[in-house]
Each structure stands twice: as structure tokens, then as C-alpha cells.
Structure 1
Amino acid sequence: MPTFQGPKNGADQRIGIVVAQFNELVTERLKAGALAELQQLGVSADNITVISVPGAFELPRAAQQMSLSGRFDGIIALGAVIRGETDHYQYVCSQTAGGLAAVSLNGPIPVMFGVLTTDTLDQAINRAGGKVGNKGRDCAAGVLEMIGLTKLLKA
């Protein structure tokens, strides 16, 4: 039975990172984790572009523009949405997830979903380099794996 898994080889890969400014305490940690992992996996700093947007809701549009530009082999979208006292949390989470999924499914390159959706700031920090790892690092490895898998399946 054939089994495929994309290699996590960053050599010559051009990666775009779009990061939300809102909840910057968390998103900066996610970005730092992604950058460290990409460089550890062989992506040259010259081949990484970071774009900043106001909040998680703006991530899909920026990711779409990056995807269509032809300048990237993969995209990492990073943000943090922390539950508040209103329904705003549900709308932002739903629309951000759906928008990024649409860009990845309908676009030419993979888009990794690195948006934390947590109940508390502590939970978010724990997933941005704290007790539970760093989702930014996970997405960096994942985007390289998806780029490699896409190439394997086209061959």
C-alpha cells in the first residue's frame, strides 16, 4: 500500500507569514516560533516574508492576496482570538477559519491555520511557547510538509 508524507525540507522554499496584531503578546510568540522552526528546517531568512494585519478577521484576505501573488510556496496564518463576554468571539473564529480554509482549498498553495481560539489569555500563552508547545512552530513544520506532499502528489 503506497503511503505518502511530504518531506519537511525548507531549502529554496518561499514562505509567507501573515500575523494578526491583535493579542500581540500571543501572536509575537507564535511568529517567533514559526520563524525559528522555518530556519531550523532550512528556509533562508531571505525567503521568508512577514505581513502584519490588524486582527484575525483580516488574515484570510491577506493570505488570499499572498496566495495569488505567485511569490510564495506556502503561507502560515497566525492569530489569537480569546473569548470575551459577547458573541463577537464566535463570529471572528468562524469567519477566520472558513476564510483561511477557502484560501487553502481553492488557491494554488497550502495555507496553515495557526489561529489560537481559546477561552483565556493563559490558554493562549500556553499554546504560544508555554506548557503546550508553540502552534507557530507546528505550522512552520506543517507548511513545509504540505508543500512537499503537494509536489509528491503532482509527480
Structure 2
Amino acid sequence: MKNKFAIVVSQYNQSITDKLLEGALSGLKAQGINQDSITVISVPGAVEIPLPAQLLAKSKKYAAIICLGCVIRGDTDHYDYVCEQVSQGCQRVMLDYEIPVIFGVLTTNNMQQAEDRVGGKIGHKGVEAADAAIQMVNLMQSIKTGDSI
């Protein structure tokens, strides 16, 4: 596969997002994607993910964009606003630019739930995001070429 992939990863909750990134990279590499076909962009927090995702989509250089982050519920409503903004922003990029934008942003109640999703008892959401990106790229190519789905 000669497609290029972009990953936008949040630095906030970096102990988790680093593992998400490692999983996404290993998942892409396991599917035959070379490191030179992967662009990684780091942003301060989850709310900042959609803007670079939009610019990457607008460039038309990438077959898919994987968005990675971790938002953990706190004592205020901030969690709800962040989750809504990042999810709607990523969806908007996907629909506006007709490119798969994979939502690999964990939204958990606590750190343990996040850790369980980056190689713990719930699996690895970084690897799953990479797999979803590959599947969506293949599906989009099939739809565009009219091949059987």
C-alpha cells in the first residue's frame, strides 16, 4: 500500500497518548506502511486536534488521518466541552474533505480506564485506530473505483 497517513496526537495526558501513538504506528507498520509514509503532528491538547487535521485533509496528501488523544473526566463540565469540540471537529473534517478521520481520542472517567485501553484489559485503541484507518482507506478506494465492496 503506497498511501500516506497522518497522525495528530495530543500531548495532554502524555503517558497515555504516547502509548496510543506507539500502537497506531505499530498497527500501520504491521499493515505494510513505511515510516516515511507516516506524518506525526503533536498538539497541546485534544481541542487543538481538529485544526491540523483540517489542514492535513486540505493538503490532499493523505489517505487518512488518525486523531489520538485522551480526555479524562474531572470535577467540572470542562470534560463535556472538550469531548464535544474534538469529536464534532474531527467529524466535520471527515465530512467536509471526504477523507477518513479516525477518532482515536479516549474519553474516560479515570486514568485506569485509559490505561486499560492502551494495552491493558480492554485492548489497544491505538492499534485499533490504525486498523480502522486502513479499512476505511480500502473502502473509500473501492467506492471511488466502483469495485465490489
Pick the TM interval, shorter chain. Answer: over 0.9
Residue deviations 1:98-139, cap 9 Å, x none?
010111111131100000000000000111111111111001
Residue ranges of structure 2 left out of the alignment (5+ in a row):
none
Instruction: Detail structure 1 runs of 4+ shifted over 3 Å in the superposition.
Output: none
Match in the other structure for 1:104 = 94
Match in the other structure for 1:24 = 14
d(CA) in 2 for partners of 1:152, 1:74: 15
TM-score (norm 1): 0.92
- How many residue pairs get aligned? The number is 145
d(CA) in 2 for partners of 1:144, 1:13: 9
SS of 1:81's partner is: strand
- Match of 2:87, as an amino acid? A
The correspondence of residues 44-123 of structure 1 with structure 2, limited to 5 A, is 44-123=34-113
Match in the other structure for 1:127 = 117
TM-score (norm 2): 0.95
Over the aligned positions, Cα root-mean-square deviation in angstroms equals 0.7
Residue ranges of structure 1 left out of the alignment (5+ in a row):
1-10
**Percent identity at matched positions?**
47
d(CA) in 2 for partners of 1:19, 1:121: 18
Q: Is the 8 A contact 1:68 1:108 kept in 2?
A: no
Q: Is the 8 A contact 1:57 1:96 kept in 2?
A: yes
Q: Is the 8 A contact 1:75 1:143 kept in 2?
A: yes
Match in the other structure for 1:151 = 141
d(CA) in 1 for partners of 2:122, 2:111: 13
Q: Is the 8 A contact 1:16 1:66 kept in 2?
A: yes
